[in-house]
Amino acid sequence: MLNRKPASALYPRSERIPAFMALCLAGGICGCYGVVAFGTFACGETGNLLHLWSSVANGNIVDILLRGLTLGMFVLGIALAAVLPDWFGKKRWQTICLGCEILLTLCAMLLPDIHFLIQLAPLFLLAALQYHTFNHCEGLAAATVFCSNNIRQSTLGIVEWVRKKDPEAFHRFKIFGLAVLSYSIGAIFCAALFPVIGRGVLVLPFCIYLILCPLVGLDKKPTA
């Protein structure tokens, strides 16, 4: 029988289930927003990169420049999230990151109706910052802004638990399964309400980042 200590005794608040799943919920909303509003997934770069090379092949200069801009935003976000924790310390950087995400979500809500890639650019940067900053839940490496690996890991977890009854495998299934569930709830929320309130769907991620920012900053549990 696995004797697991409470998460509060082992992990900082940002790596416990409630905070991490709230970020997954926000990630599902932001990701689905790009899809339902503009047909572009703004929380990852695979699709954007494929569109970029398609535009290169077709000679679409405007799309090349704008796709290059959003790719650059994503790369910049990863670079900042890799370097700045060494300057500020991990917990302070996480607080700063959430503050940046508050501003970026606000920008995505308030930017004028110009080219859709410019409207989505703040979300590309937000996704990159979050992807490399909030990437663990209860000791497991997981993502809040997309789901491919979360689905893979939850599947492997339940398969291993059924085969071997390993409590660690069930824990892996639980964490990754909850991440997929939270992300999916966010996506459903966005898809259902976007036709009614448009960019207003981004108010919920904005509120999640606004609430988590002081909670993470005031957490007394040190980050590793």
pLDDT by residue for the chain (224 residues), tens digit each? 455 566 666 899 999 999 999 999 999 999 999 999 998 888 878 888 898 999 999 989 999 999 999 999 999 999 999 999 999 999 999 999 999 999 999 999 999 988 898 999 999 999 999 999 999 999 999 999 989 999 999 999 999 999 999 999 999 999 999 999 999 999 999 999 999 999 999 999 999 999 999 999 988 776 66
**Residue 46 φ/ψ region, left for φ over 0, alpha for ψ in the -120 to 50 degree band, beta for the rest:** alpha
Q: Which class is domain 23-217?
A: mainly alpha
pTM of the predicted structure, to 2 decimals: 0.91
Enumerate the domain spans of the chain: 23-217
